[in-house]
Amino acid sequence: MDEAVGVESNQIHELGKRVMGNARLAEAYRSSTLRLYDHRRQAIAEVPGFEALRERARALKREVITHLDYYLEQFAASVERRGGKVHWAVDAREACALVIALARECGAKEVVKAKSMVSEEIELNHALETAGIRPVESDLGEYILQLANERPAHIVAPAIHKTRGDVADLFERHVDPHRAEEPEELTAVARQALRTVFAEAGMGVSGANFAVAETGTIVTVENEGNIRFSTTAPRVHVALVGIEKLIPRFQDLAVFLRLLGRSGTGQKLTSYTSILTGPRRLGEDGPDEMHVILIDNGRTRALADEKMREALYCIRCGACLNACPVYRKIGGHAYGWVYSGPIGALITPELAGLKQARELPFASSLCGACREVCPVKINIPDLLLHLRAQAQETAAATKPPGSPVREHTAMRLWAWLMTSSRRYAWSARWARIGQHLVARSGWIRSSRFFPLSAWTRDRDLPALAPRSFRQRWKDLESEEKDT
Amino acid sequence: MRVALFVTCLADQFYPGVSEATVKVLRRLGVEVSFDPAQTCCGQPAFNTGYREEARLVAARNLDLFANADADYIVSPSGSCTSMMRVFYRELFEHDPLRSAQAQAMAGRVFEFSEFVVKVLKVDDVGARFAHRVAYHDSCHLLRELGVAEEPRRLLRAVRDAELVELDDNRLCCGFGGTFAVKFPEVSAAMGADKIKAAAAIGAEYLVAGDSGCLMHLAGLIHRQGAKIKTIHLAEVLASH
Ligand code: SF4
């Protein structure tokens, strides 16, 4: 898929169908998500009191999000106290401009990037390139996507949809004409290509999994060691932090670290957990300068909605994506922006605006599998329902193809019929008469009119029973009296 | 004990046999069952699609109807409609003190059929016989909004000559999802096809569920595919002998 410009979430139907029609892609999503889902299940089974841990994490996040102004000030003061510098960015443009200014200041022509969803959100790579600075992704998955010119397909495993063969093709074309096939070889090719850049880059950019208000600490977790490298080797480290990433105290970290790895990949702990507090002090390793850019980009708008602010508790573990049967079918790119799956369906409309993403809240059967795995117990289906209501208020649904009326008109008519048993029975009678035209031996197999047309696309619809229950009730009543 | 039935519009119009089976089983257990023909729908189609105003109109009518019902309990052969009335009515009317008190009262009184039989009537064996290999499909609202998973299985295990088998990944959604089924028809159908495949893989003759919506979706797929497996509502299994 070509690099998308802007939010194309309303194309979810077409984009999703593309994945379902591609056996290789469909299988990649299916097997990878099922594997991660299963790993999670095994990992949490080993932890006694996992439920209590989730409750604790949720309570901590609720505390932070409810008093975010207080914790942000505390965090900023803590960072400065440890010699770091804090910057505030209202939106993506400001955040990118800050990174570019910092790169120019330290004369960096190349910037090493650690895997960071917020950097994808603000489209930092694009901004850097336009400014003549070369961004180099150090995370293997992100590196693959950079070569393929794609967005992440999953918030934790960005290249989840790429098979080994795809990666081999990409590397052969872009990196090393000697084709490598085995995973170890492929990793070696990437490492070789990145090593020279690593050594020379003057600036490293990372995200943050957590930001500790009490101590001004940035915490990152990963498995490859590239984040650690990108945040410590270059002379300047810039951490991009969405303002919802805060946790109150250093000791709270223990709660979240126990949840994050297990929920996301089924690991007790990821291989590397980097705890970064301020730039290097005398006699230590580390960057000379540490900058933290606190990014809003729509988050305070979400915060203003008392119901929707719950979505800001998210710690981006990816568990809800792996559990979601819809994500498994349509894949990450179908969600049309950087965040996908159930959490993408929540925060894309919040951050990018409901108009651009009005289809997303509807892309769910509301089965609740996401809520079941979420480490901070976000009531995702309930928030999706809430967003659906907002969607109908802010951007009216268009007329579905094959529908004689708009959706809202149909619903009004439906409510009118359902608020009187006479009208209800009357419409059922007409439907029984009408179905003689379309039903054959008890089934309706096709129709030109919505919603029948959509229902009968891949399945049949049983005809209405010859007599409804209410018509049969009289007989049942007399049966009761007879016995 | 007196029970007011909420049969659901789907069962009323498409599957009256499900409602009849519900009545039959309850009567067999000594319950006095009433049915008020003034009832229509619980309001879920509108609520599920984001039309809360329309949902409220239908829900409010239902609240009034059952507030006056001369019965100890309200029982419905649907996990989804029961969730609507127990969980979502309260949400729908959270800013309306009068209605929300009504919704609160209803929440304490409304039960899904299998949960009512096992939890309230304290019966596992309803005296049914059904000589088939059956797989129980957990409908999502029943499973996750009401937390009912064990009750239907207990009832099925007590059915003579029935063999209950478990689906691989039995918590997985069948893809119905109310209006999701027509908003994302391809995804919905693909999810349903997975469910049917899973049931066939363990040699089940019947897919049993507690929601007519899921069953209508699955039956429609099965009929289109010409597959052998059949669908049946839990109440119908329990009513047979
Ligand atoms: S919503 Fe919950 S499950 Fe999904 S990514 Fe966020 S924390 Fe993880």
**Burial, B131: exposed, middle or buried (Cβ in 10 Å; 0-12, 13-18, 19+)?**
exposed
CA–CA distance, A271 with A273 (Å, rounded to integer):
7
Return the residue in B173, B191, B217, B236 with the most chain A beta carbons within 10 A, the one to mutate for interface testing: B173
Q: What is the pLDDT of residues A230-240, one digit of tens each?
A: 888 899 999 99
User: Using the beta-carbon criterion (under 8 Å), do B11 and A469 form an inter-chain contact?
Assistant: yes
CA–CA distance, A193 with A181 (Å, rounded to integer):
16
Packing angle, helices B212-225 and B185-201, rounded to 10: 80
Average pLDDT, chain A: 93
CA–CA distance, A320 with A323 (Å, rounded to integer):
5
What pLDDT band is residue A226 in, cutting at 50, 70 and 90? confident
Q: What is the pLDDT of residues A449-466, one digit of tens each?
A: 999 999 999 999 999 999
Q: Chain centroid to CA A102: how far? A: 29
* Structural contact between residues B14 and A467, judged by C-beta atoms closer than 8 angstroms: no
Spacing, Cα A248 to ligand 1 middle (Å): 19
Q: Is the pLDDT of residue A208 over 50?
A: yes
Other Cβ atoms within 10 Å of A288 Cβ, number: 12
Angle, CA A387 vertex, CA A385 and CA A388 arms, to 5°: 65
Quick one: closest CA in A to B192, which residue? Answer: A459
Spacing, Cα A317 to ligand 1 middle (Å): 5
Nearest to B185 among A366, A392, A454 (CB): A454
| Short-list A83, A310, A86, A70, CA closest to A213 | A70
B227 near A CB under 8 A = no
What pLDDT band is residue A281 in, cutting at 50, 70 and 90? confident
Is the distance from the beta carbon of residue A376 to the nearest atom of ligand 1 less than 6 Å?
yes
Spacing, Cα A318 to ligand 1 middle (Å): 6
Q: What is residue A2's predicted lDDT score, i.e. its pLDDT?
A: 30
CA–CA distance, B95 with A369 (Å, rounded to integer):
28
Partners of A236 in the β-ladder: A203, A289
Domain A9-300 is found in CATH 3.40.50.10420: yes
Whether the complex's predicted ipTM is more than 0.85 is answered with: yes
Q: What is residue A482's predicted lDDT score, i.e. its pLDDT?
A: 64
User: Using the beta-carbon criterion (under 8 Å), do A473 and B39 form an inter-chain contact?
Assistant: no
| Torsions phi, psi for A220 (to 5 deg) | -125, 145
Cβ neighbours of residue A238 closer than 8 Å, sequence gap 6 or more: A99, A102, A203, A204, A205, A206, A291, A292, A293
Domains of chain B: 2-119 (3.40.50), 124-238 (3.40.50.1860)
Quick one: closest CA in A to B62, which residue? Answer: A419
Alpha-helical (H) ranges within chain B are 9-13, 16-28, 44-49, 52-67, 79-83, 89-92, 97-107, 113-115, 140, 150-157, 180-183, 185-201, 212-225, 234-239
CA–CA distance, B140 with B122 (Å, rounded to integer):
24
Q: Is the pLDDT of residue A15 over 80?
A: yes
Other Cβ atoms within 10 Å of B150 Cβ, number: 11
Is the distance from the beta carbon of residue A262 to the nearest atom of ligand 1 less than 6 Å?
no
Partners of A439 in the β-ladder: A444
Other Cβ atoms within 10 Å of A480 Cβ, number: 12
Is the distance from the beta carbon of residue A347 to the nearest atom of ligand 1 less than 6 Å?
no
Quick one: closest CA in A to B63, which residue? Answer: A419
C-alpha distances out from residue A406 to A40, A307, A352, A479, Å: 43, 28, 26, 45
CA–CA distance, B213 with B83 (Å, rounded to integer):
14
Residues of A in contact with B15 (CB under 8 A): 465
Q: Give me the residues of chain B with pLDDT under 70, please.
A: none
Side chain identity at residue A120, one-letter code: E
Residues of B in contact with A450 (CB under 8 A): 182
* Structural contact between residues A472 and B16, judged by C-beta atoms closer than 8 angstroms: yes
Please identify which residue in the block is written with the tokens 């007790």: A268
CA–CA distance, A448 with A441 (Å, rounded to integer):
19
Q: Are strands A134-137 and B73-76 parallel, antiparallel or unpaired?
A: unpaired
Spacing, Cα A258 to ligand 1 middle (Å): 14
Q: What is residue A3's predicted lDDT score, i.e. its pLDDT?
A: 32
User: Using the beta-carbon criterion (under 8 Å), do A368 and B140 form an inter-chain contact?
Assistant: yes
Average pLDDT, chain B: 97
DSSP structural state of residue B146: S
Return the residue in A25, A306, A367, A424 with the most chain B beta carbons within 10 A, the one to mutate for interface testing: A367
CA–CA distance, A266 with A257 (Å, rounded to integer):
12
Interface size between A and B, measured as CB pairs under 8 A? 185
- Smallest CA–CA separation between A395 and chain B, in Å? 12
User: b/e for B55-65, b at 16 or more Cβ within 10 A?
Assistant: bbbbbbbbbeb
* Structural contact between residues B34 and B3, judged by C-beta atoms closer than 8 angstroms: yes
H or E segment to which residue A345 belongs:
helix A341-352
Nearest to A459 among B183, B187, B189 (CB): B189
Parse chain A into domains and list their residue ranges.
9-300, 410-482
Percent of chain B past pLDDT 90, that is, above it, reads: 99
Q: What is residue A180's predicted lDDT score, i.e. its pLDDT?
A: 85
Q: Is the pLDDT of residue A1 over 60?
A: no
Q: What is the pLDDT of residues A156-197, one digit of tens each?
A: 999 999 988 899 999 999 988 888 888 888 888 888 877 777
Q: Is the pLDDT of residue A483 over 60?
A: no
| Short-list B109, B129, B107, CA closest to B28 | B129
Q: What is residue A5's predicted lDDT score, i.e. its pLDDT?
A: 44
Residues of B in contact with A371 (CB under 8 A): 144
Q: Is the pLDDT of residue A228 over 80?
A: yes
Q: What is residue A88's predicted lDDT score, i.e. its pLDDT?
A: 98
Question: Which tokens go with A462?
Answer: 């049983």
DSSP structural state of residue A9: G
- Smallest CA–CA separation between B42 and chain A, in Å? 9
Q: What is the pLDDT of residues B72-99, one digit of tens each?
A: 999 999 999 999 999 999 999 999 999 9
CA–CA distance, B2 with A473 (Å, rounded to integer):
17
User: Using the beta-carbon criterion (under 8 Å), do B46 and A408 form an inter-chain contact?
Assistant: no
Please identify which residue in the block is written with the tokens 């209202």: A90
Alpha-helical (H) ranges within A83-137 are 92-105, 117-121, 124-130
**pTM above threshold 0.80:** yes
Report helix, strand and coil shares of chain B as percent, to nearest 5: 55, 15, 35
Q: Is the pLDDT of residue A425 over 60?
A: yes
